[in-house]
Structure 1
Amino acid sequence: MFADFLKKLTDSTPETLPQEDARLALTALLVRIARSDGHFDTEERQRILAIARTRYQLSEGDAAALLEQAEQLEGEAPDTVRFTRAIKDAVAYDDRLRVIEALWQVALADGERDASEDAIIRMASNFLGVTDVDSALARQRQEEG
């Protein structure tokens, strides 16, 4: 279903993604992080929906449709390394930083820090080209907020 999208995303000379494609790719990355600890619970799903509604000014129905597409894309996407590198090449730094903030929101949604989630966020930050300092500040903002 997403073969053409993934081909475009992982092409050797990627172009900047249109806004709709970027939000789908970034939401799929949120799903990947949420699933990284072996379960994707209701609280994490609700957090991703809230992020989508707020960040992209979507209605409940549109956010739910985006999440459904993102879950499908995440299941078909290449390994996290190639997936995040492709996003880095196609999405502006400020958007990638906001994704790291959103990843921390999802990871902290259950009230606990999980080592596997931390590791994936560190790896995603690195591959997205977000500095360690910016990632740590993003985590602190989410822990406080």
Structure 2
Amino acid sequence: MLKKFFQAFRPSETPALPDPDAELALGALLVRVAQSDREYQLEEISLIDRILARLYQHNAIEAAKVRATCEKLHAAAPETDTFGRLIRETTGLEERLAAMDALWEVVLADGNEHAGEVTIVEEARKAMGLSYADSQKARARAVEKFSGTAEES
């Protein structure tokens, strides 16, 4: 009886998720990386919002809404390589390299590289058609960005 009572307050259908484009695919990958260590921290959430705002010219509220959609896409999501292929097929090299930079930023946001995070980045790299050297350069830029931030603090 109580179950029926609570069901009355729930929507009968879950809203349909949008078909992912390159932005939603990257956002879902960023969320996937951040959640892969089972510690989805505020710093990672804030960083994802800032990355989405920076790459797609969103204000803070728009970026947070996009990230929320990406969290849902990730939860219902296809495999990592599906998102990566979508990015490869719909963007140019410069955008794919920016996506790789963003993935490494999220990996390094908490100061630890977890094996699961690196595995996701590696799968995404291959699917996006980027080389191992591209990934290592992106990682180095992310390390430099965080070490520069640490020195400024």
| TM-score relative to the length of structure 2 | 0.78
* Structure of larger gyration radius: 2
**Runs ≥4 residues deviating over 4 A:** none
- CA RMSD after TM alignment: 1.5
Kindly provide the CA deviation profile for residues 34-86 of structure 1, in whole angstroms up to 9, marking residues without a partner as x.
Answer: 11222211111011011112222211111111111111111122111233223
In 1: Cα distance, 2:19 partner to 2:49 partner:
22
- Which residue identity is paired with 2:40? F
Structure 1 stretches lacking a partner, 5+ long: 7-20
Number of residue pairs aligned between Structure 1 and Structure 2: 130
Percent identity, please: 38
Structure 1 window deviating more from structure 2 (67-76 vs 102-111): it is 67-76
Match of 2:114? 114
In 1: Cα distance, 2:82 partner to 2:58 partner:
28
Structure 2 stretches lacking a partner, 5+ long: 1-15, 146-153
Q: SS at the partner of 1:112? A: coil
| TM-score relative to the length of structure 1 | 0.82
